[in-house]
């Protein structure tokens, strides 16, 4: 196929159009001339054929779950069921306005209320809000709730938040954004929270602990009960980062582990598409003692009808316009209903089995810093036999030549040259075996043909891109003059 390398602006030709609007059916009104824009916005002039060809061509330069395995650790790139897409596009869901009278959106409110109930059951929490747009916004809200709880109890001095050194970057970024002080706690030799280190940092200034369980190393925190007790005894609360919830559905619940507040990533665990980087949804669930702090509005049922309740004096306020990313909620609702209890448990079982199988097959070729049973993902380090100093980045680029998406790399930060692999439950054994065999082939090439790895990728639409130049000399929009150069 031909290489397509045009920007839409370069397809533009004065006089072409891709839209059609009906003729005016009302008289035109006079415009306030002093407020009129002096020049047209510089937008493309193309035909509908140009639009469709251009964006279809661009789509073909993307790798995606619908093309093959995408084992990006901690991102849960599972298959996105098609009925979910059809559901979200039903006009009764997509063409409704958030300010319609409640009696005209009973179906939407019912769906949100039922989803809340199901997420409570899955996580063992008491109530959920659907408002946050993504995990990061869920974390923000979660920490706001923790702050509000302490303030309510007259303990405003609790401004420190404990975060393990293996945590995702959003955890400390969120705490920083909310003016909280981050206290890092070390991991022990098994990859868990170091209890002695935790004991040292606990004090009456601690607001809480943020924890991902399974951790970003893909390991279940076996001391979770002790950790929860220690933090609670010190007067702090436990925040559960739900990034890795795909490992535990129907097996164990954050509420039963002692967590007080959590967020889930519906775009990970509950199969809603990642969209190239959003939209997501990061609903937040809370234990009974935090329910009053949830953002407004809360959906309530009165005499058989659903209503939005804004009368919540202790609420932390609003973190997003309206009620959340409803279109994403419809997809997650559909997913949970189609899987049921039995299906969700099966999801976690297969996600964990697949990850362990891959780990076992690969540990002969790659360093495995933590050898215990993993959950839904695992972390590898250097190649075991690496005479030519192949880096993790080079391995990732070489995988592109096999037509596969590389794992998450250089994360978590506490593992050198990390390769973090999350196959998910939606990959077949054949697909997993192909991935294993690609990684083993690369391990062999590292000895026999290191050049082919170092110069990868070879088969992608563009080759290795110069990221340094992009940052040094930022070109962040297309400009006409450039055409000449």
Partner 1 sequence: MFPYLPATPEDEKIILERLGLNATEEIFRDIPESVRLKRDLKLDDPKSELEMGLILKSLSRKNWNADSVPMFLGAGVYDHYIPSTVRFAISRSEFYTAYTPYQPEISQGTLQVIFEYQTMICNLTEMDVSNASLYDGASAATEAAFMAAESTRRRQILVSETVHPDTRRVLSTYMGHRGLELITIPMKDGVTDSERMRDAISDKTAAVLIQTPNFLGYLEEITEVEKQIHKNKGLLILSVDPISLGLFKSPGEWGADIAIGDGQSLGNSMSFGGPGLGFMACTKALMRKMPGRIVGQTRDIDGNRGFVSTLQAREQHIRREKATSNICSNQALNALAATVYLTTMGKHGLQEAARHCYDKAHYAASLITESGKYQLAYKKPFFKEFPIISTVTVHKIQSGLLQKGMIGGYSLNQDYPALQNGILYCVTEKRTKQEIDCLVQALEEIE
Q: Does 218 bind partner 1 (CB under 8 A)?
A: no
Q: Which of 204, 256, 309, 364 binds partner 1 (CB under 8 A)?
A: 256
Q: Are 382 and 366 in contact (CB under 8 A)?
A: yes
Q: Which of 261, 262, 332, 400 binds partner 1 (CB under 8 A)?
A: 400
Q: Does 250 bind partner 1 (CB under 8 A)?
A: yes
Can you list the pairs that 107-111 forms with residues at least 24 positions away whose Cβ atoms lie under 8 Å?
Answer: 108/326, 109/299, 109/306, 109/307, 109/308, 110/306, 111/329, 111/330, 111/333
Q: Are 11 and 53 in contact (CB under 8 A)?
A: no
Q: How far is the CB of 179 from partner 1 (least distance, A)?
A: 5
Four-residue CA torsion sign, 81, 86, 89, 90: negative
Q: Which of 206, 210, 287, 347 binds partner 1 (CB under 8 A)?
A: 347
Distance of CA 448 to the CA centre of its chain: 38
- Chain positions 186 to 215 lying near partner 1, rule: CB under 8 A, are none
Interacting span for partner 1 (CB under 8 A) from 193-201, 231-239, 251-259, 438-446: 251-259
Q: Does 301 bind partner 1 (CB under 8 A)?
A: no
Q: Which of 101, 304, 313, 485 binds partner 1 (CB under 8 A)?
A: 101
Please give the Cα distance from 462 to 446 (Å, whole number): 23
Q: Are 147 and 177 in contact (CB under 8 A)?
A: no
Cβ proximity to partner 1: between 356 and 441 the closer is 356
Q: Which of 74, 166, 215, 408 binds partner 1 (CB under 8 A)?
A: 408
| Number of residues that this document lists for the chain | 485
- Chain positions 112 to 141 lying near partner 1, rule: CB under 8 A, are 118, 121-122, 133-137, 139-140
3-state secondary structure of 128: strand
Please give the Cα distance from 304 to 382 (Å, whole number): 60
Q: Enumerate residues 6+ apart whose C-beta is below 8 A from 393.
A: 409, 410
- Chain positions 313 to 332 lying near partner 1, rule: CB under 8 A, are 316-328, 330
Q: Does 388 bind partner 1 (CB under 8 A)?
A: no
Q: Does 305 bind partner 1 (CB under 8 A)?
A: no
Q: How far is the CB of 319 from partner 1 (least distance, A)?
A: 6
Q: Which of 294, 352, 395, 415 binds partner 1 (CB under 8 A)?
A: 352
What are the CA-CA distances from residue 421 to residues 47, 354, 424 (Å)? 43, 10, 9
Please give the Cα distance from 298 to 121 (Å, whole number): 18
Cβ proximity to partner 1: between 203 and 469 the closer is 469
Q: How far is the CB of 260 from partner 1 (least distance, A)?
A: 15
Q: Which of 361, 363, 388, 454 binds partner 1 (CB under 8 A)?
A: 361
Q: Does 153 bind partner 1 (CB under 8 A)?
A: no
Cβ proximity to partner 1: between 373 and 437 the closer is 373
Interacting span for partner 1 (CB under 8 A) from 175-183, 286-294, 383-391, 437-445: 175-183
Q: Does 107 bind partner 1 (CB under 8 A)?
A: yes
For residue 434, say if its preceding peptide bond is cis, omega within 30 degrees of 0.
Answer: no
- Chain positions 439 to 478 lying near partner 1, rule: CB under 8 A, are 457, 460-467, 469-471, 474-478
3-state secondary structure of 453: helix
Question: How many Cα atoms within 13 Å fall on the side-chain side of residue 442?
Answer: 31
Interacting span for partner 1 (CB under 8 A) from 231-239, 352-360, 383-391, 445-453: 352-360
Strand partners, 162: 183, 209
3-state secondary structure of 381: coil
Q: How far is the CB of 47 from partner 1 (least distance, A)?
A: 10
Q: Does 244 bind partner 1 (CB under 8 A)?
A: no
Expressed in angstroms, the distance from the first to the final Cα of the chain is 27
Q: Does 392 bind partner 1 (CB under 8 A)?
A: no
The interface mask with partner 1, positions 257-296, x = CB under 8 A, is: x-------------x-xxxxxxxxx-------------x-
Q: Are 106 and 306 in contact (CB under 8 A)?
A: yes
- Chain positions 32 to 91 lying near partner 1, rule: CB under 8 A, are 32, 34-38, 40-46, 48, 51-52, 54-56, 58-67, 70, 72, 75, 77-81, 83, 85-88, 90-91
Q: Which of 9, 283, 241 is nearest to 127 (CA)?
A: 283
């Amino acid at each position: 196929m031909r290489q397509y390398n045009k920007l839409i602006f370069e397809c533009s030709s004065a006089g072409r159009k891709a839209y059609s609007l009906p003729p005016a059916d009302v008289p035109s009104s006079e415009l306030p001339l002093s407020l009129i824009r002096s020049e047209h916005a510089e937008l493309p002039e193309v035909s509908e054929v140009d639009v469709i060809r251009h964006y279809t061509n661009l789509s073909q330069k993307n790798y995606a779950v619908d093309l093959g395995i995408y084992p990006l650790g901690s991102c849960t790139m599972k298959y996105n069921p098609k009925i979910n897409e059809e559901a979200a596009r039903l006009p009764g869901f997509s063409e409704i306005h958030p300010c319609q009278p409640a009696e005209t959106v009973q179906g939407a409110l019912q769906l949100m209320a039922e989803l809340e109930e199901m997420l409570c059951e899955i996580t063992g929490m008491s109530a959920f809000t659907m408002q946050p747009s993504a995990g990061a916004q869920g974390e923000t809200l979660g920490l706001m709730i923790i702050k509000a709880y302490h303030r309510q109890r007259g303990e405003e001095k609790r401004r420190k938040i404990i975060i393990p050194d293996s945590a995702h970057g959003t955890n400390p970024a969120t705490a920083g954004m909310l003016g909280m002080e981050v206290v890092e706690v070390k991991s022990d030799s098994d990859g868990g929270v170091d209890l002695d280190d935790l004991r040292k940092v606990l004090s009456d200034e601690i607001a809480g602990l943020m924890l991902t369980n399974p951790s970003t190393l893909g390991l279940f925190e076996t001391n979770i009960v002790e950790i929860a007790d220690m933090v609670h005894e010190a007067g702090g609360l436990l925040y559960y980062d739900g990034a890795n919830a795909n490992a535990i559905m129907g097996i164990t619940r954050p509420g039963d582990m002692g967590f007080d507040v959590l967020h889930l990533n519906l775009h990970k665990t509950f199969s809603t598409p990642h969209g190239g980087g959003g939209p997501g949804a990061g609903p937040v669930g809370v234990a009974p003692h935090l329910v009053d702090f949830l953002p407004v509005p809360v959906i309530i049922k009165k005499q058989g009808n659903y209503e939005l309740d804004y009368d919540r004096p202790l609420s932390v306020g609003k973190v997003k316009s309206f009620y959340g990313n409803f279109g994403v909620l419809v997809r997650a609702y559909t997913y949970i209903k189609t899987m049921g209890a039995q299906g969700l448990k099966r999801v976690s079982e297969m996600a964990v089995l697949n990850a362990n199988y891959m780990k076992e097959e690969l540990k002969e070729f790659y360093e495995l810093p933590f050898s215990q049973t993993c959950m839904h993902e695992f972390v590898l380090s250097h190649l075991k036999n690496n005479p030519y100093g192949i880096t993790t980045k080079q391995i990732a680029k070489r995988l592109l030549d096999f037509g596969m998406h590389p794992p998450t790399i250089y994360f978590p930060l506490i593992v050198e040259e990390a390769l973090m692999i999350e196959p998910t439950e939606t990959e077949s054994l054949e697909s997993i075996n192909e991935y294993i065999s690609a990684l083993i082939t690369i391990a062999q090439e590292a000895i026999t043909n290191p050049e082919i790895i170092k110069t990868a990728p070879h088969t992608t639409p563009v080759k290795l891109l110069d990221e340094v130049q992009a940052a040094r000399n930022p070109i962040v929009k297309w400009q006409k003059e450039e055409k000449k150069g």
